[in-house]
Structure 1
Amino acid sequence: MPVFELTGDPSDAFADEAYRALASAPPVARTPRGDYLITGHPEAVSILRSPHAEPRFDYPTAGSRWNRLAERFFVFLDGSTHRRLRSAFDTDLTRSAMSGDDGRIDTISAAHVEDFRARVEAGETADIIKDFAVPCTVEILASILGIDAAAVTTVVNLAIRIRSTGDEDREFLDRVAVELQRTAETLLYTGRFAGSLPNRIAAACDGDRELIHSTIALLLLAGFETSANLFGNLALALMWDPQRTRVLVDGGPSLLPTAVEELLRLHSPAHVVARVAREPIAAGDVVLPAEARIAVFLRLCNMDPRVFARPRQMNLHRTPNPHLAFSHGRHYCLGASLARLEIAAMLRALLPLLTRLKIDSSKTPKWTEQALGRSLVALPVRLEPRSS
């Protein structure tokens, strides 16, 4: 069973620096200012399952328009409001994904691969993220939610600009907030959503207009952005060592589920989630006091040798694989089932071409500047000629 060492792979310097500082830390570490850093998998599970660990919103643009919009994303909410909002999207995101969405995701992925193939076969350098992953995941989301794909063009353009903008660019993020609010108004109040989704959102938000705007903004941003980012990370990991792609091709469709889970464990764009303890919480041998501020480093938890044998190797056959790429507990990613389905469909469609794609050696892989979600800015590739 082949496994692959990750030594020498391109890496995210920002994340690497943070993780080097935590290399010798215990699973639960207390900082000089009293915060708690969690790098152990079992300890993270205890915290993320605890009813006393609430989401914490820490954005550097306090008081800005962006802050007022983002602090009401339902990933930062808890209690009854959080439960109502998750329930509002259950049919559209979770159940449609679990049913396979009637083959639409495979059909959309295959069509976008053909467009991408035509581009690279014409001799152009193409970007796997911008020219394949983003348009593909946008169309999938639009199809599932019943939105004309053209209606989310504004959001796509904003998301692409956010990718290359630092968290501290307050002026830009304020402009993003305004555009997202306008887009939410347009989609909700001009009948651009199909079915009962607008009514369910309004009911879940109890008519709170600002919360409605925040909910739609998060749905549109995270609904395609996370999957597109994830696919870019995975494509780079596979292409860096062509033998990894070959193992997937030779393993056939039956290998895809375990391979996707291993790639998620190693390369998810979600690196950290923040919590605050409202009551004391036991995590391993440590009891975190009430009001403790907590940072759970999901990526480091996915490297815990107590849970994952040889965690710094890529084993596309790894099972079981209880990674925390989608977090855990009541804030487990609502779109996890859809993301898995998307990634598998996109890989399945692109694999025959992926064996011939080469990373543009003139470009150094660069990651986005956001602290919480680490993903590639771009992944330019070219097509290697067929051997005669």
Structure 2
Amino acid sequence: MSVVPPAGSAAPQAPGPVESLFLGRLADPYPVYAELRETGDGVHWSDVLGAYIVTRYADVRQIGTDPKLFSSDVFHDSAPSTHDPSDPEHLRFLDAASRLFMFADPPVHTRIRSTFRHVFTVQATQRWRPLVERVTAELIDRYPRGEEFDIMPGFAADVPVAVIAAILGVPDEMRPRFRDWSYAYASTFDPVVQGPRRDQAIATSLELFDYLGELVAARRAEPRDDLISTLVRTETIDGDTLGDIELLAQLALLLVAGNETTTTLIGAGLTLLFDHPGTRRRIEADMSLLPAAIEEMLRIDPPLHLVIRKATADVEIGDHTIPAGSLLFPCPAAANRDPRRFTEPDTFLVPREDNKHLAFYHGVHFCVGAPLARLEGQVVFENILRSFPDARPGAVPAVRRTTNSVARGWESRPVIL
């Protein structure tokens, strides 16, 4: 990855705090995002990323709209491709990870994504509501009433893993392994994770790949009533089906992306409700406000902070030209607080009119699992707000955010139910 701005670039160098942010040293990114967004034209070069950071709503959205000009075929330019070419296990990891449809452009992306076209619609995901309700109730019942506990490492992390495991047809006893595998694989997307930490993350990710490969083979031989059985039989728009390694790569992505999104939503949402008791009371009195509240949680503190793209031709963004071949990091988290698009962008407003945020990004790469994440969020907050109207923040351990530069969430969120 280049660490020098391409010749002809007029983008200003990002200010010093940004480099700390993308090196995983800064917990609260939003003041830095605001500085980037409101300086110049909102486009800056980062030596750490070896790429341009794009922060304004219109520009971030436009990059998602035009896959021909802004390519997603960037796996070998991004953190997951970092490897030791002499290590056969690293090469085996790359063989699977490089097949993710998030790193593909049409028509390859279109073919792979079409396999999921029927299973993650808003209507189709409603069939999983009883499952999400059961899992949520079972997991929250583990925790003592009136005593302080950290909701993040247990409940918030366990709900999405338990749900996607059940949907895929994974036995309940595998949930803890699935959670560990999910964290390990997610860390391979973080450019800060290098050296021995990366070696371990790859080794653990391969355990996930191997297990999913076994499930795919088993469901081809003996289908069941689960998502993997459905997907191995579903034809793409080209009339074929995904191969084993293609399918296991997408399944691993579903696990990681679904886990990150819902876990972060729970931590961010609870924090916002604790910080805005008046809004919380209005939602408790009128649960029809909850879907709008979840959208506002996703807007103001989204799980996904950076997306990576590559310019396929010279392109004008703001007041200068981005040369062909340059990497760009559109920042949905910065765009979601752009005052050019949202009134009172740093304020938690429920309901917020015209809340077309970019938490799930935009265009052909809009998150395929967004309906499931929204369903999980609605069920979780319904459960907490109805069952524990006196829930309040705890003090130990201290509230901490994660510092992953790509996907940011909450490491700890103490509560008392």
TM over 0.5: yes
Instruction: Please list the CA deviations of residues 259-306 of structure 1 after superposition, one character each: whole Å capped at 9, or x if unmatched.
Output: 111111011110110110112344455553322221111111111111
Residues 401 and 408 in structure 2, CA contact (< 8 A), matched pair in contact too? yes
- Give the secondary-structure state (helix, strand or coil) at the position aligned to 2:329: strand
Q: What pairs up with 1:183-222 in 2 under 5 angstroms?
A: 183-191=211-219, 194=226, 195-200=229-234, 209-222=244-257
2:137 is matched with 113
1:54 is matched with 71
Which moved further from structure 2: 189-198 or 337-346?
A: 189-198
Which of the numbers 215, 220, 229 marks the counterpart of 2:264? 229
Once superposed, what is the RMSD of the aligned Cα atoms?
3.1
Instruction: Please list the CA deviations of residues 104-157 of structure 1 after superposition, one character each: whole Å capped at 9, or x if unmatched.
Output: 425633552365246222x54333233323333233324444444444542212
- Give the 3 Å change call, closer, same or farther, for CA 244–107 of structure 1 in structure 2: farther
Mark the runs of 5 or more structure 1 residues left unpaired by the alignment.
1-11, 384-388
What is the aligned length?
368
Q: What pairs up with 1:327-342 in 2 under 5 angstroms?
A: 327-342=361-376
Instruction: Please list the CA deviations of residues 166-198 of structure 1 after superposition, one character each: whole Å capped at 9, or x if unmatched.
Output: 622212112122212211122111227634312
- Give the secondary-structure state (helix, strand or coil) at the position aligned to 1:377: strand
1:158 is matched with 181
- Give the secondary-structure state (helix, strand or coil) at the position aligned to 1:72: coil
What TM-score does the superposition give when structure 2 sets the normalisation length? 0.78
2:61 is matched with 45
- Cα drift, residue 239 of structure 1: 2.0
- Give the secondary-structure state (helix, strand or coil) at the position aligned to 1:276: strand
Residues 85 and 204 in structure 1, CA contact (< 8 A), matched pair in contact too? no
Which of the numbers 325, 328, 331 marks the counterpart of 2:359? 325
Identity of aligned residues (%): 26
- Cα drift, residue 249 of structure 1: 0.8
Q: What pairs up with 1:246-261 in 2 under 5 angstroms?
A: 246-250=281-285, 252-261=286-295
- Cα drift, residue 30 of structure 1: 4.1
- Give the secondary-structure state (helix, strand or coil) at the position aligned to 1:31: strand
Q: Does 2:193 match 1:167?
A: yes
- Give the secondary-structure state (helix, strand or coil) at the position aligned to 1:272: coil
Structure 1: distance between partners of 2:46 and 2:305: 22
1:8 is matched with none
Structure 2: distance between partners of 1:144 and 1:241: 34
Which of the numbers 341, 363, 375 marks the counterpart of 1:307? 341
Which letter does structure 2 place at the counterpart of 1:131? G
Structure 2: distance between partners of 1:332 and 1:214: 18
- Give the secondary-structure state (helix, strand or coil) at the position aligned to 1:381: strand
Structure 2: distance between partners of 1:205 and 1:183: 24
What TM-score does the superposition give when structure 1 sets the normalisation length? 0.83
Mark the runs of 5 or more structure 2 residues left unpaired by the alignment.
1-25, 85-89
Residues 53 and 329 in structure 2, CA contact (< 8 A), matched pair in contact too? yes
1:84 is matched with 111
Residues 56 and 335 in structure 2, CA contact (< 8 A), matched pair in contact too? yes
Q: Relative contact order: is structure 1 or structure 2 higher (C-alpha 8 Å, sep ≥ 6)? A: 1
Which moved further from structure 2: 360-369 or 335-344?
A: 360-369
Which moved further from structure 2: 266-275 or 148-157?
A: 148-157
Which of the numbers 153, 161, 177 marks the counterpart of 1:130? 153
- Give the 3 Å change call, closer, same or farther, for CA 45–204 of structure 1 in structure 2: farther
- Give the 3 Å change call, closer, same or farther, for CA 158–146 of structure 1 in structure 2: closer
- Cα drift, residue 349 of structure 1: 1.6
Residues 106 and 345 in structure 1, CA contact (< 8 A), matched pair in contact too? no
